[in-house]
Every structure is written in structure tokens, then in C-alpha cells.
Amino acid sequence: MEKLSASFLRSYQPASGLAVGKATEHLPERVLQFGEGNFLRAFVDSMIHQLNQHNLFNGRVVVVQPIAEGLAGQLNEQNGLYTLLLRGLQGGKITEHKEIIAAVSRGLNPYTQWEEVLQCAENPSTEFIVSNTTEAGIVFDPADKFTHTPPVSFPGKLTAYLYRRYTHFQGDPAKGLIMLPCELIDRNGDNLKSAVLRLAAAWNRPAAFSQWVENCNTFANTLVDRVVTGYPRDEAQELQRQFGYIDELMDTGEIFHLWVIEGPQALSERLPFHKIGLDVIWTNDMTPYRTRKVRILNGAHTSSVPAAFLYGLETVQEMMEHPVTGKFIRQIMQDEILPSLEFSGLDKKMLNEFSASVVERFENPFIKHYLLSILLNSSSKFKARVLPSILEYAKIKGTLPKRLVFSLSALLFVYKDGVIDGTSMKARRPAGEFIMKDDLPVLQFMAERWSAFDGSSAGAAKLAKEILANEAIWGENLNRIAGLTEMTGHYLHLLNTRGMQKTIAGLIR
Ligand SMILES: NC(=O)c1ccc[n+]([C@@H]2O[C@H](COP(=O)([O-])OP(=O)(O)OC[C@H]3O[C@@H](n4cnc5c(N)ncnc54)[C@H](O)[C@@H]3O)[C@@H](O)[C@H]2O)c1
Ligand SMILES: O=P(O)(O)OC[C@@H](O)[C@@H](O)[C@H](O)[C@H](O)CO
């Protein structure tokens, strides 16, 4: 079987139900994208593909892989082409869109092609920069250097790229760009801009460059929402047989999508997603959308997944269908997360509707979302997505939300018996061994604390106290929250002596 590529596509008779759009090879590169991961390919790139198919954008995306390991080579082997499968229920009907996405012109590896990345800055057609470098990507790294080829961090690479653009076009205000970062951190655009300006100063670039960055470029804050489940490893062979080609970059996700962009409404005319019915909202305040999504959707994931994973389940769908874990997640959302948003200023009816729609999305039987992939980097996710709900609930109700606190104990329990293996951790649950990925200092800290655990109830209380005191993980000493240490220690003891299945059964009604 041949691999998907531009030459293969020229003589390809599309398999039934697979959409193959018109050729895009002649279109100019109008977007530079940092990140070649599953999410961006299933979200921004597929939306640009749809615009191109309607002659509403007429531009392609150059993809730069942000770290040394990446997919630029594979993208080039397939001439930027890949198959996207979006599945779910639409208006109650099972729907599946299968399409070859042709928005990407080429992939660049900055570790071997840095000058080519910089040359993209000289392209007058470029207007947009898109990124998704995970929560770890938008950081100011004082050790990063202008002279590195390439600079280590994503903001470092972007600063060098913008500097080349600024010098090449002699500070032309019209050559400023629109940055649309998609990282799931709060106010991603503001943070990216601040990191770029700090690097420009640290690297002694002229003040006029910083003014050009500030005045002639737009760094929009954006919020993205689509469950993207990536390469369909369990059905890849069958799909390749159906399609008649090999595609190593196949990608899957749900049909639901929402992109909220805090930026001037006028920009929507340059990226007219609304004209083809895509759910992209331009607003002057994205905060409510972010609070709603991060606290309800991501909060529900992060608070339920450790328990369901230790229970022995593998996917979100299994978790939703299971009589115990299914109740656990729904009750967490209904009884603890939603009440914690009571004074958020968000409309109660809208929150209830969003929560119900999230349950439906999690029930989506057509996508396979692995719990282990959601567990990745759970400590920082817990701090951003669940801890605010625990704290707000306690403030409003004067008591702690027991299931959310239990979810903290369940997360800590995931690291029990973990042994550091390189940069990750080999851990164990009753169903067998697994690899837990998190920041290395977090993994080391957890492994060290658990190794001193003596199995007693007092030992569990001590462990909870030590772990909750770690301000580097939680942003504050959580022992200060009345009752939290005792409750966390209590659940740790129950998990250790009775196991997940018996303990969680006592937490649902
Ligand atoms: N998958 C989803 O359902 C989904 C939905 C919404 C948002 N997101 C966000 O997108 C991010 C990426 O998800 P994905 O599914 O595309 O994963 P992925 O593993 O396919 O891609 C990760 C991307 O991030 C880059 N990256 C990794 N570590 C980095 C670092 N330290 N610095 C710079 N770049 C780095 C990689 O090079 C790659 O381009 C997640 O962190 C998540 O916050 C994912
Ligand atoms: O992607 P992560 O690892 O940051 O978080 C896991 C999930 O909660 C997340 O991917 C959601 O599915 C997504 O945020 C939906 O838009």
C-alpha cells in the first residue's frame, strides 16, 4: 500500500465517505504554526482547510515543530497531507466526517532548518502565527539566547523570528502579525507577548523593535475546545485498508469545537470562520468562557480520571458507562463543581447547560479518549482546574467538597510505588504497570515521599501533610485550608487499606 502524498492523491479515487478537497498546492503560506501535534492539526489546520475549500482564506500553514523530537519529517513525507476523522452525535444523529486535510504546506525542524524558519519571516504574505506548545511552552527562560540556533524556548524562537521580520521589513508597521496562541493557559496571548518583550530586552534588541512588537502586532488571548484523541492506533489498520493508503499522521477527534478569540472583531473578516458555520467567537472578554470550560470540562476530567484509572478502566467512555465511576463524575460536576461557581458571575442556566453538554461529549461512543493521556502532567492540571473549585466551594459552603478532596487523594495515590525511570515514572495499579508522565521534580518528590510511607493511618496523615505543604506544586501551602490535610490523609488511608473500588463506592449516592 502506498503512503498518502501529493503525487499519490493526483490519481487517487477517494474511498466511499472520504472527502478529498480541491488542490491547494498553489496557495501562499499565510500562517506560521509552532506545533505539529494532534490538537492543532485537528483544530486550526482543519478549519483553515475548510476556509480554503470555500475560497475564503486562500492560504496555507507552515508548521514548525517546537522541540527537537517531532513530526516535521513525517509531515514532509506526506506533503503536509493527513486524514482527519471527526465523530460524534449531531442533532442526535451519529455523524462521522472523514477528510484529507490539505492546509499544511510543509514542516520545518528548527533544530536542523533554523535559517529556513527565519526566512519565513521575510514572506510578506504571512499574517498569522498559531501555536500550541502545551502548558509548558509559553515560558520566559532567562537562560535562552538570541545566538542559539534555534533559541530553546518557544517565545525565544518567536522573538528571533519577529526580529528577523522587523529588520527585513525595516520596521514596517503593516508587516506586524496576529498571534493566536492555543495553549490552555490563562491569557495565553498576554503571557506570550510579555515573554517576547522580556526576551527582546534581555537580548538587547533595539527599543524600536519592542515598540514594533507592542504597537504593530496583536497577541490575542484565545480559548480552544475540542476533544482530540489523536492517532487511532486500535483501528489504524482497518482504516488504512478502507482508505487504500498508509497515513502515519491520521488524527481523530469529536465534532464539537469552539474557539473563543479575544481580539478586534474586524479580524474576523480576515479569518471568516463564521461564514462557513464554524463555532469561532470573537469577544472582548474571554474570561467567562475560560472559567466555564476549565472548571467544568477540564475539572471534571482531572478530578475523575485518577479514580477511574485506579479502578482499572482505560477510557473516558468506560468511565462514563460504569455504574460507579459514571455516578462519581456526574455527582462531582453536579454537586461540587457547579455549586463552586455560584458566585463566579456566570449565568446559572448557561453553566447547567454547558455541564450537561460536557456529559454528552464525554459519553461520545465514537471516540476513544485514554485516561492515561488525560493523567499526563496531572499535578499542574489539578492546581489550575480543580483546586479553585475546592477552595471556592469551601468558601461558599463552609465545608469541603468530599469527592473533589477524594480526587486529590486518588491523584496522590497514583504515584504510590512509583519508581523514577529516566524522565518519567514507572508506577503500578492493580491492573498492572503504567508510565506516569509529569514534571520530573514532581515525580521525584512524590516517589521520595511515598517511599517513606509506613502504611499506617498516622503515616497517611503525615504523607498528606508533607505533600500538601509543597508550594512549588500547589502554588500555596494547602495545609492552611481547614480540614483539607486531615480529609486527604483519611482518604489516602482508605485507599491504602480498602482499595479504590470499596472507597469510591462510599462516596456516591
Ligand atoms: N488533545 C486535546 O483534546 C486537546 C484539546 C484542547 C487543548 N489541548 C491542548 O493541546 C496541547 C497539545 O495537545 P496535543 O493533543 O496536540 O498533543 P501532542 O502530543 O500531539 O502535541 C504536543 C505539541 O506540543 C509540543 N511540545 C511538547 N512539549 C513542549 C515544550 N516543552 N515546549 C514547546 N513545545 C512542546 C510538541 O512539539 C507538539 O507539537 C495539550 O497540552 C492541551 O493543553 C488538547
Ligand atoms: O489536553 P490536556 O492534557 O491539557 O487535558 C486533558 C483533557 O482535559 C483535554 O484534552 C480536553 O479534552 C480538552 O481540553 C477539550 O477541549
Tally of domains in the chain = 2
For ligand 1, whether the C-beta of 184 sits within 6 Å is yes
- What CA–CA distance (Å, rounded) separates 276 from 427? 47
Query: Could you tell me if 203 and 328 lie in one domain?
Result: no
Cell numbers 504523607 correspond to: 463
d(CA 80, CA 261): 26
ipTM higher than 0.85?
yes
Nearest to 166 by CA among 132, 203, 198, 118: 118
Residues 108 and 171 in one domain: yes
Ligand 1 contacts CB of residue 136 (under 6 A): yes
Best residue among 293, 374, 439 to mutate for probing ligand 2's pocket (most ligand atoms within 8 Å of CB) is: 374
Closest CA to 337 of 397, 384, 401: 401
Same domain flag for 347 and 431: yes
Ligand 1 within 6 A of CB of 466: no
Q: Is the CB of 227 under 6 A from ligand 1?
A: yes
Integer distance in angstroms from the first to the last C-alpha of the chain? 53
Nearest partner of 48 among 34, 37, 35, 32, judged by Cα: 32
pTM of the model as a whole: 0.93
Identify the residue whose C-alpha is closest to ligand 2 atom 1: 374
Same domain, 212 and 317: no
Residue 93: its pLDDT value, please? 82
Q: Report which of 156, 79, 145, 169 is spatially closest to residue 117, judged by C-alpha positions.
A: 156
Give distance in angstroms: CA of 135 to centre of ligand 1: 8
Of the residues 283, 317, 347, the one at which a domain ends: 283
What is the Cα–Cα distance from 187 to 193, expressed in whole angstroms? 10
In the reported structure, the alpha carbon of residue 227 is separated from the centroid of ligand 2 by a whole-number distance in angstroms of 6
Pocket probe mutation, ligand 2, options 297, 298, 380, max atoms within 8 Å of Cβ: 298
Kindly state whether residues 174 and 118 are assigned to the same domain: yes
267 assigned to some structural domain: yes
Structural domain of residue 296, as residue ranges?
Answer: 287-505
Atom of ligand 2 nearest to the CA of 377: 3
Residue 40 Cα: closest atom of ligand 1: 16
Which ligand has its closest atom nearest to the C-alpha of 293?
2
Whether residue 451 is found in the same domain as residue 357: yes
What number of residues does the chain have?
509
Ligand 1 in reach of 252 Cβ (< 6 A): no
Write the CATH number for 261: 3.40.50.720
Among protein residues, the one whose CA lies closest to atom 6 of ligand 2: 374
Q: Please give the number of the atom of ligand 1 that sits closest to the Cα of 369.
A: 3
CA distances from 160 to 72, 111, 121, 153, 181 (A): 20, 14, 9, 11, 17
305 belongs to a structural domain = yes
CA of 457 to the centre of ligand 1 (A): 39
The answer as to whether 478 is a domain residue is yes
Nearest residue (by CA) to ligand 1, atom 18, is 37
What is the rounded CA–CA span in Å between residue 121 and residue 124? 8
The verdict on 186 and 316 lying in the same domain is: no
Strands ordered across the beta sheet of 18-20 = 18-20, 93-101, 82-90, 251-254
CA 246 from centroid of its chain's CA atoms? 27
Residue 306 lies in a domain: yes
Domain harbouring 326, CATH code: 1.10.1040.10
Nearest protein CA to atom 13 of ligand 2, as residue:
227
From 268, 283, 298, the end of a domain falls on 283
Is 410 found in the same domain as 274?
no
Q: How far apart are CA 319 and CA 81, in angstroms?
A: 34
Q: Residue 69: inside a domain, yes or no? A: yes
Whether residues 129 and 269 share a domain: the answer is yes
Helix (H, G, I), strand (E, B) or coil at 425: strand
Provide the CB-side half-sphere exposure for 434 (13 A, CA).
23
| Nearest C-alpha neighbor of 414 from the set 401, 390, 431, 389 | 431
| Residue among 43, 225, 227 to mutate when testing ligand 2 (max atoms within 8 A of CB) | 227
Ligand nearest the Cα of residue 372 is 2
Which of the listed residues 262, 283, 304 is the one where a domain comes to its end? Answer: 283
In ligand 2, which atom is closest to the CA atom of 301? Answer: 8
Answer yes or no: is the C-beta of 228 below 6 A from any ligand 1 atom.
yes
How high is the pLDDT of residue 135?
Answer: 80
Q: Domain check: are 142 and 217 in the same one? A: yes
Same domain as 293, residue 265: no
Same domain membership, residue 149 and residue 256: yes
Which pLDDT score, from 0 to 100, does residue 227 have?
A: 96
Report the SS3 class of residue 435.
strand
For residue 119, the CA-to-ligand 2 centroid distance in Å is: 34
- Give the pLDDT of the chain (509 residues) as one tens digit per residue: 999 999 999 999 999 999 999 999 999 999 999 999 999 999 999 999 999 999 999 999 999 999 999 999 999 999 999 999 999 977 778 899 999 999 999 999 999 999 999 999 999 999 999 999 988 899 999 999 999 999 999 999 999 999 999 999 999 999 999 999 999 989 999 999 999 999 999 999 999 999 999 999 999 999 999 999 999 999 999 999 999 999 999 999 999 999 999 998 889 999 999 999 999 999 999 999 999 999 999 999 999 999 999 999 999 999 999 999 999 999 999 999 999 999 999 999 999 999 999 999 999 988 899 999 999 989 989 999 999 999 999 999 999 999 999 999 999 999 999 999 999 999 999 999 999 998 899 999 999 999 999 999 999 999 999 999 999 999 999 999 999 999 999 999 999 999 999 999 999 99
| Any domain includes 1 | no
